[in-house]
């Protein structure tokens, strides 16, 4: 995996997607919402939905243990509650328990084969475990279901790139830009691949496109790469025979 200052670019932009939750118009602060669902649990202790939403409130506060307990309670009441299974997977993912997260995402997909976020985060967890080929399979399924799902092609490209499958990676990043033309990290990833392949013109072109976006992190690192490539291009090539 290509890193800049020791940080994989994948980690910089691929954050776990927000939890799914039952429809509920939230217009209160976290504390009041948490108290609301605690009260609902007291009044309706046999309803999985209230435990699910209590888990959501804990998750938003970063209280992983409490969120896990609430989602597990919801699942004891209804083992087929796919949203709670998915969200429990997110909790495990945040805690770094990848095997448990993967198991939850797979079960969520079994209960709801069209839940796109489960596919996305399953692929992410597999990627983070180094199971790049399995991640590729999952992302391809996601793309079959939703060709315009943001980051799907990008994530597929990252997995191919990790396996040094350059053509497939470039194709995936290009496809991400077709569906999301302003995806700055696709330009970064293309720049990194072309840099690896010693294709200076294409590396420069993509790095410079990425710099157009003010939200790009580590802009100085990209500028440094551009500068080094341009310096190398100005070096004499030696005498012709």
Q: What is the pLDDT of residues 71-106, one digit of tens each?
A: 999 999 999 999 999 999 999 999 999 999 999 999
The tokens describing 229, both together, are: 């490539």
Nearest to 179 by CA among 214, 145, 143: 143
pLDDT exceeds cutoff 50 at 220: yes
Position 41 scores a pLDDT of 80
Helix (H, G, I), strand (E, B) or coil at 67: helix
Which residue has tokens 């590729």? 136
CATH 1.25.40.10 fits 1-14+132-233, yes or no: yes
Q: How does the average pLDDT of the chain come out, rounded?
A: 87
| Pairing, β 7-8 against β 3-4 | antiparallel
Q: Which residue has the higher pLDDT, 228 or 16?
A: 228
Share of the chain above pLDDT 90, in %: 72
Domain boundaries defined on the chain: 1-14+132-233, 28-114
**Given pLDDT bands bounded at 50, 70 and 90, which one contains residue 223?**
very high
Helix or strand holding residue 39 (H, E): helix 30-43
pTM metric for this prediction: 0.84
**Given pLDDT bands bounded at 50, 70 and 90, which one contains residue 44?**
confident
Instruction: Summarize pLDDT for 129-178 with one digit per residue, the tens.
Output: 999 999 999 999 999 999 999 999 999 999 999 999 999 999 999 999 99
Nearest to 215 by CA among 190, 176, 178, 183: 183
pLDDT exceeds cutoff 80 at 113: yes
Phi then psi for 2, rounded to 5 degrees? -75, 135
The superfamily CATH assigns to domain 28-114 is Tetratricopeptide repeat domain (1.25.40.10)
For the chain, the straight-line distance linking the first and the last C-alpha, in angstroms and rounded, comes to 40
Q: Which residue has the higher pLDDT, 24 or 61?
A: 61
Position 64 scores a pLDDT of 95
Q: Would the CATH topology of 1-14+132-233 be identical to that of 28-114?
A: yes
């Amino acid at each position: 995996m290509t890193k800049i200052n020791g940080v994989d670019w994948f980690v910089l932009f691929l954050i776990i997607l927000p939890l799914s939750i039952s429809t509920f118009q939230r217009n209160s602060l976290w504390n009041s919402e948490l108290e609301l669902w605690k009260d609902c649990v007291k009044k309706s202790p046999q309803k999985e939905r209230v435990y699910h939403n209590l888990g959501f409130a804990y998750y938003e506060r970063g209280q992983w243990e409490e969120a896990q307990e609430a989602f597990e309670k919801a699942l004891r009441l209804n083992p087929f509650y796919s949203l709670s299974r998915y969200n429990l997977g997110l909790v495990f993912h945040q805690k770094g328990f990848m095997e448990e997260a993967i198991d939850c995402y797979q079960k969520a997909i079994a209960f709801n084969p069209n839940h796109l976020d489960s596919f996305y985060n399953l692929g992410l967890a597999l990627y983070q475990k180094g199971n790049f080929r399995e991640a590729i399979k999952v992302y391809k399924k996601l793309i079959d279901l939703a060709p315009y799902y943001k980051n799907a092609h990008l994530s597929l490209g990252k997995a191919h790139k990790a396996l040094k499958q350059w053509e497939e990676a470039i194709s995936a990043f290009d496809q991400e830009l077709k569906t999301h033309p302003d995806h700055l990290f696709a330009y970064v990833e293309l720049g990194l691949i072309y840099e690896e392949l010693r294709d200076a013109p294409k590396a420069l072109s993509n790095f410079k496109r990425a710099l157009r976006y003010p939200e790009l992190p580590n802009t100085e690192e990209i500028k440094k790469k551009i500068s080094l490539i341009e310096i190398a291009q100005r070096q004499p090539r030696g005498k012709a025979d």
